[in-house]
Amino acid sequence: MVDSLGRLEAVDRLRRENEALAETNARLATENLGLEQENVRLKEALEKAQERIDELERTAARQAAPFRRRETLKVAEPKRPGRRAGHRGVRRERPRHVDQVIEAPLTACPHCGGAVQDRAPLTQYIEELPPVRPIVTRLTTWKGVCPQCGEVHSTHPLQVSQAQGAAGVHLGPRAIAWATLLNKQFGIPMRKTCSILARGFGLKLSAGGLAQMLHRLADKLRPRYDALREQVRTSPVRTGCCGSARLRSTRCITSIRATVVLWPRSSWGPITPALW
């Protein structure tokens, strides 16, 4: 009888252990399934992160990376380059004048030196920049004393200043116009403008000298600028706009006949007074 009770207790204990192990197995299976799903999610996140890293590395390696258009802004089907089919052809026009005529004769075959038959002329027009050498003018003006007016000076249209001595070498009106065009209209920096004048035209000028020259030119043009402002201010029809993000401190006022841009006196100072 005692052995039968012992066997029953052992079976019951084994049954309870079996049930506990089954519960543990089920719990571990659930945890394993969750870990597998988490592993898949982490793998996908890792692949996306690696793709993003590769894209950023390719973008950084491109020369125009900071300025190129983003992928989301690109057109899916861009237009074909060039004009539409059937457009009127465009070519360089034949020059209206010829400065020199050059002929390359064909008296013999350039390869074997034999006679050449059925010769025909082939005409081309070549437009080339001439070698630029500054035209230097020694200008002599005179001064004297007028009994009625006092000291007087003679002038010449090429004269841009009355300075002499160490400051007696000046640029002419055409050179000043080109320097102003390069710096103001085309936006070339001071030093690069001086480099272009030196390499292309043989004119030596420092960045400080160019800045002072532009200030003197602005003083000479101030009356004309004020006249344009007054013309725009009194115009019956006018419109205004602000500058871009880079030129946010500028103002542009336009009428039917004129346009005036109001520039700030300095990058940190107040803007030029408004027209109205």
Q: What is the mean pLDDT of residues 204-227?
A: 90
Determine the 3-state secondary structure of 153 from DSSP. strand
Q: What is the C-alpha to C-alpha distance for residues 90 and 82, in angstroms, rounded to an integer?
A: 12
Give the C-alpha separation, 52 to 1, whole Å: 76
What is the percentage of the chain residues whose pLDDT exceeds 90?
Answer: 33
- pLDDT tens per residue across span 187-199: 999 999 999 999 9
pLDDT band at 242 (very low <50, low <70, confident <90, very high): low
Radius of gyration of the chain (CA): 42
Strand partners of residue 206:
none
Confidence at 245, pLDDT banded by 50, 70, 90:
very low
With a cut of 50, say whether residue 273 has pLDDT above it: no
Provide the pLDDT confidence category of residue 263 given band limits of 50, 70 and 90: low
Of residues 19 and 58, more confidence is placed in 19
Q: Which residues have a Cβ under 8 Å from the Cβ of 242 and sit 6 or more positions away?
A: 248, 250, 251, 252
* Percent of the chain scoring above 70 in pLDDT: 82
**Per DSSP, what are the bridge partners of residue 146?**
150
Give the pLDDT score at 90. 78
What does the alpha-carbon distance between residue 255 and residue 237 come to, in Å, rounded to a whole number? 6
Q: Side chain identity at 79, as an amino acid letter?
A: K
Helix (H) or strand (E) segment spanning residue 195: helix 190-201
Contact, 242 vs 235, CB < 8 A? no
pLDDT, tens digit, for every residue of 164-179?
A: 877 778 888 899 999 9
Single-letter code of the amino acid located at 82: G
Banded model confidence at residue 98, pLDDT cuts 50, 70, 90: very high
Rounded CA separation 135/201 (Å): 10
With 0-12 / 13-18 / 19 or more C-beta atoms within 10 angstroms meaning exposed / middle / buried, residue 7 is exposed
